């Protein structure tokens, strides 16, 4: 496989964006729930950072899919499934990433139906999923 087909700088910038957002999310994670919910800026910032980070994950996935000339994904879910089929992502992680896209879709399309508790739960328990994704992408890039 010709690794020159990938725009590694584009991927690096997307990864950097996710990592920068994770640092900010880690700061929000330290805020106790009772305090977190009293300031709308905490909630809205967390939602935005999560949404943008998930979109960056999808951008990376779609870049890889396009450059490898794999089947064009119809949905965001398909992007992650395609990378799983190519053994770039593992099945357990892929299932988590699919749930992340569902959450992102709720933020974008059903913004009125995103519970603060769900946002806080993700902050407390799921930020490592972003790190796992980055690890899997970096590992893949090293193999090409």
Q: What is the pLDDT along the chain (144 residues), one digit of tens a residue?
A: 444 588 899 999 999 999 999 999 999 999 999 999 999 999 999 999 999 999 999 999 999 999 999 999 999 999 999 999 999 999 999 999 999 999 998 998 887 788 999 999 999 999 999 999 999 999 999 988
H-helix or E-strand spanning residue 37:
none
DSSP code of residue 140: H
Residues 132 and 93 sit within 8 Å (Cβ to Cβ):
yes
pLDDT for residue 4: 54
Number of domains composing the chain: 1
- Quote the Cα angle for 129-49-76, to 5°: 60
Query: Whole domain around residue 11: which residue ranges?
Result: 3-143
Whole-number Å distance between alpha carbons of 107 and 4: 36
pLDDT digits (tens, 9 = 90+) for 70-87: 999 999 999 999 999 999
Distances from the Cα of 28 to the Cα of 21, 35, 49, 143, angstroms? 11, 10, 11, 35
Q: Rounded to whole angstroms, what are the CA distances from 10 to 62, 84, 92, 134? A: 12, 21, 26, 14
C-beta separation of 77 from 98 below 8 A: yes
CATH code of the domain covering residue 30: 1.20.120.580
């Amino acid at each position: 496989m010709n690794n020159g087909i990938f725009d590694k700088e584009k991927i690096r910038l997307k990864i950097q964006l996710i990592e920068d957002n994770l640092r900010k999310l880690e700061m929000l994670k330290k805020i106790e729930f009772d305090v977190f919910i009293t300031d709308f800026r905490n909630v809205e910032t967390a939602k935005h950072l999560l949404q943008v980070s998930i979109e960056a994950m999808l951008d990376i996935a779609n870049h890889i899919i396009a450059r490898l000339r794999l089947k064009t994904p119809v949905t965001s879910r398909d992007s992650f499934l395609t990378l799983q089929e190519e053994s770039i992502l593992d099945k357990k992680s892929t299932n988590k990433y699919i749930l992340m896209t569902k959450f992102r879709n709720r933020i974008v399309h059903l913004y009125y139906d995103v519970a603060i508790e769900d946002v806080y739960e993700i902050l407390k328990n799921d930020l490592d999923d972003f790190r796992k994704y980055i690890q899997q992408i970096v590992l893949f890039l090293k193999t090409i």
